[in-house]
Structure 1
Amino acid sequence: MAVTRMGDDPSTPTLTELLSDRATRTPEREFLRFGDESWTFGEIDAWTSKLAHRLIEVDGIGEGDRVAIMLPNVVQWPVVWLSVLKAGAVVVPINSSYQQADLTFVLKDSGVRVVFADRERGRLLNDAVAAQSDLAEVRIVDVADDGTARFPATAPTRTIDAETLANLQYTSGTTGFPKACMLTHDYWVRIGWVASAAAGLGPDDVLLTAQPFSYMDPQWNTALALTVGAPLVVLPRFSASGFFADVRRHRATFFYVLGSMPTLLFKQPPSPADRDNDVRVVFCSGIPKQLHLQLEERWGAPWREIYGMTESGVDLFSSFDDADAVGSGSVGLPIPTKQVRVVDPDGADLPDGEPGELIVTGKPMMNGYWNRPEDTARTVRDGWLHTGDVVIRRPDGGVRLVGRIKDMVRRGGENIASAEVESVLERDDAVIDAAVVAEPDETLGEEVKAFVQLADGIAADRTTAELIVERAGSQLARFKVPRYVTFVDSFPRTPSERISKPALKAQVAGAVTHDVGSGRKNSAPAKSGMVDVEVVRDVAVVTLRRPDKLNALDVEARVSLAKVIREYGTGAAARGIVLTGEGRAFSAGEDLTSAPDSYEQLRAALDTFHDITRAILQTRVPVVAAVNGLAVGGASEITLCCDTRIATPETEYYQPENRRGLTISNASSVLLPRLVGNQAMHMVLGSPRIDADGARRIGLVDEIVPPEELLDRAIHTVHAWTPETGTTALHLELLRPQLDEIEQAFAREDVAGREAWDSGVVTAGIGGFWTTKAKENPA
């Protein structure tokens, strides 16, 4: 079936008709394989017809009645499923690992009349039924003795069409008890139809699944096998160490993996036999983009994303013809029968590149939640299903998954997607798997906590925790790096092989937790003499602090400032830099308490200002000047190198160099004319004090905000200029003056500085400054 046919309605509308057609056309072809046993389409058709008659005649099952299945991965699972559908009834899959509380809830909520189970789970079911008077009429059938031998092998007469309810499919339930999605025959048939077209599958393929049958993936794989007439191999469970051995043994050409399965497979020791397989194509969900190409190269087949959820079946997929999808992080484009939008919390559409919630509409889609009209109304609004997934839409229409709305850590005003941090942790060779949750924090609201499963032979101690966090810190923004690390031997999982975080928190109660990040808190700035640095919301706030009323920058302070700018300007430790000052003053320039007494000292002073300019213009992140007061001389010129200047009403610019016999340093000779046009000459030669309004009028500052909002506004500007999918560093390089132009200005300043020194005007100007100060302050 061609991919272009995905938008058509399936040629056969129900699962029961699909099975009947296959049994009529190819009765001897293999359909289901469990271990070393297999069954043909004809055999399964006859078996399911007999069991359907038994359900009707012995158990009294009518159309629309609910029948539950509580079994591991055995052939009776799909047989009972298809039998119930032939009887016109509705299947209720029950997780085979449920205990009494979960089991009792599902039995009561769904209103089942019959449950199929094995002997082990039959005992648990009997206990649950005996303990609840309102479950007394529930009948439990042992699949080892289903009593079908005496019934006819032709299907009973029941009214079944595309819109007939097939399943009450309970979701994993991240909070409280799960909800049941009402899924029709069309839902299952359409997933098989779309998947077969998207993957280009046919009767010569061999499909393989390893997830529990109570989850939806083996069920849509069964629909897929019926659609293309290919056999489906069902493994007892997923085992990372044995998975590809089974793939080779069964000569599988297609499989689907999700969640942590790709990472767990990749972390198995490489083998010369890795490419010894028949796999043609792989569908996956949540593939780590940094492993995508390596997974394809290691096992020699294309892996592509398919996105959906229990409520919506399949929504997006990446074409196997699209090589650019590899490693892109995209989960694909909408299938022809679906429309998608990315919206803000108010439901307004967001532009490309802006993170928001993914909402979808179209077919396949659930009919709502069973017995949950309020939940249905919250999830499906005006025909659009709200997925709860945070995504970013790319310019090509592809969608990149960021995380879950509810699976976020809100640290100090920043939203951190747990999935992003988990992905980075899982790249570490010492880590098998990881889960990130929010840990309450009095100062920041929430902190990042990581649960980590270590590779064999790695010590579960504080040193290991520190090393893992340190390596993660080289790839994550600082505020996203975990503060707490707890080691676990294994993770509790949902049927879909995702980590169950509610169960995890209960499992590790009392375990040792390493606090390895307390030194990174925003409340503990790193000090360096007159230059202090504090990382706030992933932005390096650099504060200029001076030891006396002159508020002057000496050589040591300028060297330190250039070093700090280079350290944080790479983008590895912060997404931007904000320069500000202490108290009411941004900063003065040259410290005249240690004025140069030789040209060499003057040249050294100029060089340190020059180096600050180089450092700022060579950063890969935005540099914002938060000018909180008086900016004098060289400090005023430092702000001109920044990408924008935000001021308070108390801001003043003052460049008195000409009056003191000094030359302007830094890059003012290039930057100032560009900023203020014909005002530059007046500023330099007349040396007036320019207040905030005047500075804004002539372009020295871009906006004026109240003092209490200055830093927040500067940090917000950095965030606005550094979107996750943006090309900020490239644009900074294009928008800033070229460094060779600045270097030419430096050379001219050096010549002018020599001339000013030799003429004596520098010494006279400095002397005049101190004479004036002495008159103003006789003491």
Structure 2
Amino acid sequence: MAPERMGDDPSVPTLTGLLAERARRSPDQEFLRFGDESWTFAEIDAWTSRLAHRLIETDGVRAGDRVAIMLPNIVHWPVVWLSALKAGAVAVPINSSYKKADLTFLLRDSGARVVFTDGERAGLLKEVSAAEGDLTDLRIVDVAEDGSEPFPATAPEVRATAETLANLQYTSGTTGFPKACMLTHDYWVRLAWTCAAVTGLGADDVLLTAQPFSYMDPQWNTAVALTVGAPLVVLPRFSASGFFADVRRHRATFFYVLGSMPTLLFKQPPSPDDLDNDLRLVLCSGVPVGIHAELERRWGAPWREIYGMTESGVDLFSPVDDVATVGSGSLGLPVPTKQVRVVDPQGADVPDGEPGELIVSGKPMMLGYWNRPEDTARVLRDGWLHTGDVVVRRPDGGVQLVGRIKDMVRRGGENIASAEVEAVLERDDAVVAGAVVAEPDETFGEEVKAFIQLAPGVPADRTTAARIVDRAGRQLARFKVPRYVEFVADFPRTPSERVSKPALKQRAAAEPGVTYDLGARRGTAAATATDFLGVEVVRGVAVLTLRRPEKLNAMDVATRLRLASAVREYGCGDDVRGIVLTGQGRAFSSGEDLGSVPASYEEVRTAFESFHDITRAVLETRVPVVAAVNGLAVGGASEITLCCDARIGTPATEFYQPENSRGITISNASSLLLTRLVRNHAMRMVLGSPRIGAEEALRIGLLDEVVAPDELVDRAVDLVLAWTPESNTTALHLALLRPEPEEIERAFAREDAAARSAWESGVFSAGIEGFWATKGAGK
């Protein structure tokens, strides 16, 4: 579309009208592409018509009813969206990662009558529906069998206009829980029209998006595709390492990124293939000033800023031919259908160069917040939307962002309301009060930090911090969970008894306390920790770290049972994509803690059973388990690595299985699993008990890879991510590749019998004494 048409009214006023027009004019033209499958405009038009009939005739949906969508990036998402609109309903997008607290609130607040989901999330929806009395009539539809096939492929007799409500699009506001922006057909069509003109896109282009479909971006991308008649490629998720390979594979000419995505892409290793692409233009919200020019050089296409909000769609843009704005930090100029002002707190315009709040008016614009007249009146005043962003107007008329006056955290493009996280934290009995603020972060822009006042008697230590965050993480989406926790004795407060966050930040800067970082360099805080076991989620992978470096991470029964429990907790695949096991310090683990040697056969049996429990836990998981062997792995600890699906080491890695040479026992994992790995080397390793260093372990296949120590955990996480693509069959293949449970149990029985024989003969005690005499590992 030609840029000069940006200020025109759209030629078709509704999304459903756009789809019908495309199906009529170019029925066989590709519209949507997910993976290796694609659908034409005509196919999607027919499918959405059938599903719209089903909604009306089977589900009893009437004009204005709300239809929720809780799905990952699969074709059914836009299909359900457009079907709901054809039925006259209002779509309610729900983040597919939401848990009980978020989900309950959105369903109740929106008044949704029907929700479309998949098998993975249907159980949670049913649980919420059963637990909440006002949600018991919610109809839950699994898209695997959407029931649309018998219905007509022509659209129902439902008439929508430009002002017909299309979406309740939830967004985190400045305070409180998320609010739903009421977005009309005109909003979506006009937003698409403007973006198509800004970019000059046409039918020969290929659009690509990687953000979750429940967010704004894939939806307006869909509307742009309908406007210009171009295909839209939808990736399962954003992956910085694989993104440009997908751009090349799909021959994409356009995409939009925001938040931390440009930085993450820039941090990928340069490749000779970087310029081998068909890109014509990239739109970005928040392109980093320092790398803007390099982004363009590296991938050979202009990156241009575009500014907007869920409430207002698109407000500012940088023209494609305006090379002077590259690296300037400018948000651009107003689109022709918008007016912008920069005002002081009293609403008076401020001079150019002075900071003030950005306010905008014009189209597109939300109707207001659903069921929130006071919030609507506060934000929309005299026809002007108050954005809450502090900006300055540049001499060239452009606008430059200074900061935000909103009480929220913007993490990697996600808007997180502080009050929502605070409400969850304060449900914990250990918490008296909490205050959530934004902590600057190089990669994500901002991270979530929680200041917490504890109840009397609760220790202010890392274990407490991790437990509180763990509980919060069971109610919040992962990106909302605090990474940083700082305990405080009290809070500075305003006269109205609210926490004064500016005063809190000033106090923390002047008198910093201990801040617990429960995340990782590129991770999100997770879940659980004890004195000997740390758990954090790094890029969606649970990293379990043994933390007794002063004892070379030696394990007693309690340690092993806790480790097995953590493996089971994360091994179901509901919350993480895989597990990495590692140790703190110079040892992965020196195996059995000889400071707590069994004094009876029953204690021996208990000790062995706790090792068995770890083996069972690892082999029962539905996700890959990778051992990041950071150093010495002795005895039972060496066996634990054998149970894992891969082992990555460092030059300091060393395997040592000395039990047999001491006459203590055979080893269940060694006897069963080692031969699968190193075949003819197994006898020498078990019976000869040599120390196997990293180089030798790599040569014989005991290690899969050796990396630098500071790369170890990240490399293990990378491997898990590589093995778990969206909609994969990882769990099935793990079940096929791993030993059968019956084999494992037979090995356990043999080991138990050998252990009893060793105990009764006195060999066990003699072996332990031999360890002490030679100062063996684990002392």
**What is the TM-score with the length of structure 1 in the denominator?**
0.55
1:57 deviates by 0.5
1:403 deviates by 1.3
Aligned counterpart, 1:168: 168
Aligned counterpart, 1:376: 376
Whole-angstrom CA distance in 1 between matches of 2:452 and 2:140 = 45
| Residues 393, 492 of structure 1: alpha-carbon distance in 2 compared, 3 angstrom cutoff | farther
Aligned counterpart, 2:337: 337
| Residues 79, 440 of structure 1: alpha-carbon distance in 2 compared, 3 angstrom cutoff | closer
Aligned counterpart, 2:226: 226
Give the 5 Å matches for 1:379-458. Answer: 379-406=379-406, 422=440, 426=442, 435=447
Whole-angstrom CA distance in 2 between matches of 1:140 and 1:440 = 38
1:392 deviates by 0.8
Whole-angstrom CA distance in 2 between matches of 1:440 and 1:345 = 31
Write out per-residue CA displacement over residues 392-451 of structure 1, whole angstroms, 9 at most, x where no aligned residue: 110111000111113699xxxxxxxx99994xx63xxxx68654869799xxxxxxxxxx
Letter in 2 for 1:70: M
Whole-angstrom CA distance in 2 between matches of 1:167 and 1:306 = 22
Letter in 2 for 1:349: D
Give the 5 Å matches for 1:63-78. Answer: 63-78=63-78
Q: Secondary structure at the match of 1:388?
A: strand
| Residues 381, 176 of structure 1: alpha-carbon distance in 2 compared, 3 angstrom cutoff | same
Letter in 2 for 1:364: P
Q: Secondary structure at the match of 1:403?
A: strand
| Contact 1:267–1:432, Cα closer than 8 Å, also in 2 | no
Give the 5 Å matches for 1:212-361. Answer: 212-361=212-361
Whole-angstrom CA distance in 2 between matches of 1:307 and 1:318 = 9
Aligned counterpart, 1:474: none
Q: Secondary structure at the match of 2:290?
A: coil
Letter in 2 for 1:405: I
Whole-angstrom CA distance in 1 between matches of 2:307 and 2:227 = 20
Whole-angstrom CA distance in 1 between matches of 2:305 and 2:512 = 32
Q: Secondary structure at the match of 1:47?
A: helix
Whole-angstrom CA distance in 1 between matches of 2:174 and 2:276 = 39
Letter in 2 for 1:350: V
| Residues 332, 18 of structure 1: alpha-carbon distance in 2 compared, 3 angstrom cutoff | same
Whole-angstrom CA distance in 1 between matches of 2:203 and 2:437 = 37
| Contact 1:407–1:437, Cα closer than 8 Å, also in 2 | no
| Contact 1:338–1:362, Cα closer than 8 Å, also in 2 | yes
Is 2:36 the partner of 1:36?
yes
Give the 5 Å matches for 1:639-650. Answer: none
Write out per-residue CA displacement over residues 571-608 of structure 1, whole angstroms, 9 at most, x where no aligned residue: xxxxxxxxxxxxxxxxxxxxxxxxxxxxxxxxxxxxxx
1:4 deviates by 1.4
| Contact 1:3–1:197, Cα closer than 8 Å, also in 2 | yes
Write out per-residue CA displacement over residues 336-372 of structure 1, whole angstroms, 9 at most, x where no aligned residue: 0000000111111101100111000000000000000
Q: Secondary structure at the match of 2:178?
A: coil
Aligned counterpart, 1:599: none
| Residues 38, 382 of structure 1: alpha-carbon distance in 2 compared, 3 angstrom cutoff | same
1:176 deviates by 3.1
Q: Secondary structure at the match of 1:7?
A: coil
Write out per-residue CA displacement over residues 116-138 of structure 1, whole angstroms, 9 at most, x where no aligned residue: 00011111000000011111111
1:172 deviates by 3.5
| Contact 1:403–1:419, Cα closer than 8 Å, also in 2 | no
Q: Secondary structure at the match of 2:123?
A: helix
| Contact 1:68–1:114, Cα closer than 8 Å, also in 2 | yes
Letter in 1 for 2:138: V
Write out per-residue CA displacement over residues 586-633 of structure 1, whole angstroms, 9 at most, x where no aligned residue: xxxxxxxxxxxxxxxxxxxxxxxxxxxxxxxxxxxxxxxxxxxxxxxx
| Contact 2:51–2:146, Cα closer than 8 Å, also in 1 | yes
Write out per-residue CA displacement over residues 613-659 of structure 1, whole angstroms, 9 at most, x where no aligned residue: xxxxxxxxxxxxxxxxxxxxxxxxxxxxxxxxxxxxxxxxxxxxxxx
Whole-angstrom CA distance in 1 between matches of 2:90 and 2:250 = 32
1:177 deviates by 1.4
Letter in 2 for 1:251: R
Q: Secondary structure at the match of 1:180?
A: strand
Letter in 2 for 1:148: S
| Residues 440, 193 of structure 1: alpha-carbon distance in 2 compared, 3 angstrom cutoff | same
Whole-angstrom CA distance in 2 between matches of 1:47 and 1:286 = 37
| Contact 1:421–1:481, Cα closer than 8 Å, also in 2 | no
| Residues 492, 223 of structure 1: alpha-carbon distance in 2 compared, 3 angstrom cutoff | farther
Letter in 1 for 2:62: G
1:161 deviates by 0.6
Whole-angstrom CA distance in 2 between matches of 1:348 and 1:117 = 48
Letter in 1 for 2:83: S
Aligned counterpart, 1:133: 133
| Contact 1:164–1:184, Cα closer than 8 Å, also in 2 | yes
Letter in 1 for 2:369: Y
Aligned counterpart, 1:362: 362
Count of equivalent residues: 450
Aligned counterpart, 1:188: 188
| Residues 432, 392 of structure 1: alpha-carbon distance in 2 compared, 3 angstrom cutoff | closer
Write out per-residue CA displacement over residues 164-210 of structure 1, whole angstroms, 9 at most, x where no aligned residue: 00000000456431000000000000111011110010000000000
Aligned counterpart, 1:516: none
| Contact 2:206–2:253, Cα closer than 8 Å, also in 1 | yes
1:100 deviates by 1.1
| Residues 49, 196 of structure 1: alpha-carbon distance in 2 compared, 3 angstrom cutoff | same
| Contact 1:255–1:282, Cα closer than 8 Å, also in 2 | yes
1:482 deviates by 12
Aligned counterpart, 1:144: 144
| Contact 1:88–1:159, Cα closer than 8 Å, also in 2 | yes
| Residues 483, 247 of structure 1: alpha-carbon distance in 2 compared, 3 angstrom cutoff | farther
Whole-angstrom CA distance in 2 between matches of 1:210 and 1:47 = 23
Whole-angstrom CA distance in 2 between matches of 1:492 and 1:317 = 32
Whole-angstrom CA distance in 2 between matches of 1:228 and 1:150 = 31
Aligned counterpart, 1:114: 114
Q: Secondary structure at the match of 2:42?
A: helix
| Contact 1:402–1:420, Cα closer than 8 Å, also in 2 | no
Letter in 1 for 2:131: A
| Contact 1:10–1:193, Cα closer than 8 Å, also in 2 | yes
Letter in 2 for 1:162: A
Whole-angstrom CA distance in 2 between matches of 1:165 and 1:402 = 34
**What is the TM-score with the length of structure 2 in the denominator?**
0.55
Q: Secondary structure at the match of 1:331?
A: strand
Whole-angstrom CA distance in 2 between matches of 1:399 and 1:483 = 35
1:297 deviates by 0.4
CA RMSD of superposed structures (Å): 3.0
List gaps (5 residues or longer) in structure 2: 410-435, 454-482, 484-507, 526-536, 546-779
Aligned counterpart, 1:82: 82
Letter in 1 for 2:17: E
| Residues 39, 481 of structure 1: alpha-carbon distance in 2 compared, 3 angstrom cutoff | farther
Letter in 2 for 1:311: E
Write out per-residue CA displacement over residues 462-518 of structure 1, whole angstroms, 9 at most, x where no aligned residue: xxxxxxxxxxxxxxxxx999978765324559xxxxxxxxx99xx99xx9xxxxxxx
Q: Secondary structure at the match of 1:55?
A: helix
Whole-angstrom CA distance in 2 between matches of 1:369 and 1:36 = 39
Aligned counterpart, 1:204: 204
| Contact 2:174–2:407, Cα closer than 8 Å, also in 1 | no
| Residues 132, 420 of structure 1: alpha-carbon distance in 2 compared, 3 angstrom cutoff | closer
Aligned counterpart, 1:741: none
| Residues 437, 107 of structure 1: alpha-carbon distance in 2 compared, 3 angstrom cutoff | closer
| Residues 80, 432 of structure 1: alpha-carbon distance in 2 compared, 3 angstrom cutoff | closer
| Contact 1:421–1:480, Cα closer than 8 Å, also in 2 | no
Q: Secondary structure at the match of 2:222?
A: helix
Letter in 1 for 2:367: N
Letter in 2 for 1:317: F
| Residues 166, 433 of structure 1: alpha-carbon distance in 2 compared, 3 angstrom cutoff | closer
| Contact 2:313–2:364, Cα closer than 8 Å, also in 1 | yes
Letter in 2 for 1:298: R
Whole-angstrom CA distance in 1 between matches of 2:235 and 2:512 = 39
